[in-house]
Chains A and B, each alone.
Chain A
Amino acid sequence: MTASPPTAQVAGLTALPPRTVEFRGARGGQAALTWGQQGIWRSTRWLDDGDPYFNLPWTLPVTGDAGLDAVLRAVGRLVERHETLRTAFVPGGEDGRSTVQRVSREGRLTVGVYEAAAKPMSAARALAAELAATGFDYAAELPIRCAVVCRRGKPRALALALSHLALDGWSLSMVAEEWPRLVAGEDLPGPDWQPLDQAAFEASDPPPGGQALRHWRNALASAPRSMFDFPAREPEEPRFVRHGMESPSAAVAAQALAARHGVTTSSVLTVACAALLGAVTGHDTAAMQLIVSNRHHQGTEAMAGPAAQDGLCVVDLGDGTFADALPGGHRSTMATYRNGHYDPALVLAAWQAEAWRRGADIDLDAFFNDVRRAGRWQGLPPVDARDAGALAALRDRTRTFFVGAYPAVKAKIFFATGPAASTCEFYVLVDTAFLPSDVAVRMLTGLEELLVLAVAEEVPLDHVAKIAGLDPVRRPAGWTEIGRDWVSLPETEALLRRVCGTGAAAVALDEGEGPARLTGYLVARPGLDTPEAVHTAFMRAAAGRTDVLAPHHYVLCAEPPADPGGWPGLPRLTEGGGREPSPLNEPLGKVT
């Protein structure tokens, strides 16, 4: 297996002849994708081949007197140590159609060599961005490109582009710690857990992840079917917009709140994001997928390779204050992090089964990712958060900035911390088909405002939108709340009419005793003559929509009523929920 970096053109850098590094690791092999690899792989499938969105530009310094040969040896040792850097993703498996990981035992890596006119680290960062600007060929290319940047002939930095399929943030930190020791020629003990080992563990009998699957089922049942159940808008171009913030005051405030309420800063940030999202979208229960690093398990702590998976966190905000929501939000957050290691196929089946039962796609496109090392800040400004004046003064140091805009991202909102240790580095990405791009900025400044204010006083959750300067979405007449879901009744009825083909259908809202329910009335026709057939057709037609909900009960009649309100009094051919049997439930039987 080989790799060559594309020719990079960066101002201030002169290309010297590239070098070839030959490597030979301890083993090669092939296995199913680990559950962590599956997560990233599935995300890459959302993009066109060659899209560089999941590439990681990265720079490592070279200190001391190491010469070019020593740096190239260190690069070779790095690739030999970590099988993930020798892994291709190729078609395979029993059916030949799934994707498997294939570790090459040996191969060659072409390493660019450049001379910098000045500032080699800055030049290396620009070079790394250039190397990462081209997508990887996951099946044929090593997931690493690199080049050595020299100053007056001495190596000063290594510019890298890495595939996210090979490394995640945790792995990058591991490599960063190993790098100077490898350059110094130290003989490090080999890692004893690699993605091939992880794949074998995940295929063990009985499989791990039973408790995580139960967590997912419970969370799916209690989550709103979408946080974005309101009318979509004309998207901006490009559609997905990301803004960032650096706020030492938000970090100091979050830390003070965490200490006061006996929770973690990660939980404080998660609940704050849930509160902001709930305030904008009109929900008092927020569902977000947390990116779970899965590094507390035996073995994975020292594994280079993607281990992260998405975990479903449902935060019941209630109708009290922000402080009231913290203890429960913390428990939900911890339970989510605890239950982030699971077989994606089984969770997908549970997800589809819940959609079938609920009568709508379950859209979980709200994300939160805390990438801070060990989940905390270190070295925050020594400001007493109880000193309102000092905290206010710290806010002068806040800055917000535009990060980028993208044509396609699999998220409607994405909250994320940055790795900065001495400030709250925070990012919000929004899908402008649902929220205007300035909401991302207001979410950031609103996060700071909410946290700082919550240190000084109780903040009722129904004040959060106003505090943050956010306009709650407006739902036109005809929208109603059914359980945790907002539903457009006119659109639901229009879809049922379209499904039944004849246009003879109606949807009625029953708000009597017990939870509100929808009843769908329609005229039966061949092929659409059972509640199950109607439910199947409705679910197919409603795919991807966040405004409609399948009726809880279907009533099939022989002919329409003389007047539109006459459906309930008509003779009924058959009726029922249409949910049984659910073929999608079958895979759940595998886990005990």
Chain B
Amino acid sequence: MRERVAELVSKASGGDLVTADILAADCTLPALGLTSIAYLRLIDLLEVEFDCELDLDGGHLDTLDGLVEHIAEQRK
């Protein structure tokens, strides 16, 4: 799932970010260069792809691993 989420991050960025860089990054998605609107686009993509609802009021969803964990929790 981690790889698929990284692909969607790349897609949401309009290709500005490359999947391999996203997987290798040790920083938040904004630090990697993901803009606010691309991040919001990403949340939409993730909700459709994984059929879940992501609540940004709830927690730390600004890293790749944070998103992956949150989606896994939502799908339990």
Mark each residue of chain B from 26 to 57: 1 if its CB lies under 8 Å from any CB of chain A, else 0. Answer: 01101100011111110110000000010111
Q: Contacting B35 at CB < 8 Å: which of A211, A338, A339, A376?
A: A376
In chain B between 6 and 27, which residues have their CB closer than 8 angstroms to a CB of chain A?
27
- What are the residues of chain B within 8 A of A263 when measuring CB–CB? 28, 30-31, 62
A–B complex contacts, Cβ < 8 Å, 23 sampled = A215-B57, A218-B57, A262-B31, A263-B28, A263-B31, A263-B62, A266-B36, A267-B30, A295-B37, A296-B40, A331-B59, A333-B36, A334-B36, A334-B56, A335-B56, A335-B57, A337-B36, A338-B43, A338-B56, A339-B56, A374-B35, A374-B37, A374-B38
Interface size on A, residues (CB 8 A): 27
Across the two chains, which residue of chain B brings its CB closest to A218? B57
**A97 contacts the other chain (CB 8 A):** no
- What are the residues of chain A within 8 A of B2 when measuring CB–CB? none
In chain A between 254 and 277, which residues have their CB closer than 8 angstroms to a CB of chain B?
258-259, 262-264, 266-267
- What are the residues of chain A within 8 A of B27 when measuring CB–CB? 262
**A27 contacts the other chain (CB 8 A):** no
- What are the residues of chain A within 8 A of B62 when measuring CB–CB? 262-263, 330-331, 334
**B4 contacts the other chain (CB 8 A):** no
Pair B60/A338 contact, Cβ less than 8 Å: no
A239 to B60 Cα, complex, angstroms: 42
Across the two chains, which residue of chain B brings its CB closest to A266? B36
A60 to B37 Cα, complex, angstroms: 26
**A152 contacts the other chain (CB 8 A):** no
**A297 contacts the other chain (CB 8 A):** yes
Pair A264/B36 contact, Cβ less than 8 Å: yes
Across the two chains, which residue of chain A brings its CB closest to B37? A296
- What are the residues of chain A within 8 A of B28 when measuring CB–CB? 262-263
Pair B44/A296 contact, Cβ less than 8 Å: yes
Pair A296/B41 contact, Cβ less than 8 Å: yes
- What are the residues of chain B within 8 A of A335 when measuring CB–CB? 56-57
Give the 9 A-B CB pairs with smallest separation, nearest first.
Answer: A262-B28, A296-B40, A335-B56, A262-B31, A375-B36, A296-B41, A335-B57, A338-B56, A264-B30
**A293 contacts the other chain (CB 8 A):** yes
Pair B37/A334 contact, Cβ less than 8 Å: no
A262 to B62 Cα, complex, angstroms: 9
Across the two chains, which residue of chain B brings its CB closest to A332? B57
A339 to B44 Cα, complex, angstroms: 12
**A298 contacts the other chain (CB 8 A):** yes
Q: How far is the CB of B58 from chain A (nearest CB, A)?
A: 8
Pair B35/A264 contact, Cβ less than 8 Å: yes
Pair A258/B30 contact, Cβ less than 8 Å: yes
Q: Contacting B31 at CB < 8 Å: which of A215, A259, A293?
A: A259
A337 to B39 Cα, complex, angstroms: 10
A298 to B44 Cα, complex, angstroms: 9
- What are the residues of chain B within 8 A of A374 when measuring CB–CB? 35, 37-38
Q: Contacting B40 at CB < 8 Å: which of A218, A259, A337?
A: A337
Interface size on B, residues (CB 8 A): 20
Interchain pairs with CB closer than 8 A, number: 60
- What are the residues of chain B within 8 A of A259 when measuring CB–CB? 31
Across the two chains, which residue of chain A brings its CB closest to B44? A296
Q: How far is the CB of A17 from chain B (nearest CB, A)?
A: 45
- Residues of A bordering B, CB below 8 Å: 211, 214-215, 218, 258-259, 262-264, 266-267, 293, 295-298, 330-331, 333-335, 337-339, 374-376
A296 to B38 Cα, complex, angstroms: 8
Q: How far is the CB of B56 from chain A (nearest CB, A)?
A: 4
- What are the residues of chain B within 8 A of A267 when measuring CB–CB? 30, 36
Q: How far is the CB of B23 from chain A (nearest CB, A)?
A: 17
- What are the residues of chain B within 8 A of A331 when measuring CB–CB? 56-57, 59-60, 62
Q: How far is the CB of B64 from chain A (nearest CB, A)?
A: 12
Point out which of A214, A264, A293, A333 has the most chain B C-beta atoms below 10 A from its C-beta. A264
Across the two chains, which residue of chain A brings its CB closest to B63? A262
Q: How far is the CB of B16 from chain A (nearest CB, A)?
A: 10
- What are the residues of chain A within 8 A of B37 when measuring CB–CB? 293, 295-296, 374-375
Pair B55/A262 contact, Cβ less than 8 Å: no
Across the two chains, which residue of chain A brings its CB closest to B28? A262
Across the two chains, which residue of chain B brings its CB closest to A215? B57
A175 to B27 Cα, complex, angstroms: 37
Q: How far is the CB of B12 from chain A (nearest CB, A)?
A: 9
Across the two chains, which residue of chain A brings its CB closest to B39? A334
- What are the residues of chain B within 8 A of A262 when measuring CB–CB? 27-28, 30-31, 62
- Supply 13 further A-B pairs (C-beta < 8 A) apart from A297-B44, A338-B40: A259-B31, A262-B62, A263-B30, A263-B62, A264-B30, A293-B37, A296-B44, A331-B59, A334-B62, A337-B36, A339-B56, A339-B57, A375-B36
Across the two chains, which residue of chain B brings its CB closest to A297? B44
Q: How far is the CB of B20 from chain A (nearest CB, A)?
A: 20
A363 to B38 Cα, complex, angstroms: 31
- What are the residues of chain B within 8 A of A215 when measuring CB–CB? 57
- What are the residues of chain A within 8 A of B53 when measuring CB–CB? 211
- What are the residues of chain A within 8 A of B38 when measuring CB–CB? 374
A263 to B28 Cα, complex, angstroms: 8
Q: How far is the CB of B68 from chain A (nearest CB, A)?
A: 17
A39 to B43 Cα, complex, angstroms: 25
Q: How far is the CB of B32 from chain A (nearest CB, A)?
A: 9
- What are the residues of chain B within 8 A of A218 when measuring CB–CB? 57
- What are the residues of chain B within 8 A of A339 when measuring CB–CB? 56-57
A334 to B30 Cα, complex, angstroms: 11
A466 to B55 Cα, complex, angstroms: 37
A342 to B55 Cα, complex, angstroms: 15
A35 to B34 Cα, complex, angstroms: 28
A264 to B41 Cα, complex, angstroms: 15
- What are the residues of chain B within 8 A of A296 when measuring CB–CB? 37, 40-41, 44
A176 to B63 Cα, complex, angstroms: 35
- What are the residues of chain A within 8 A of B36 when measuring CB–CB? 264, 266-267, 333-334, 337, 375
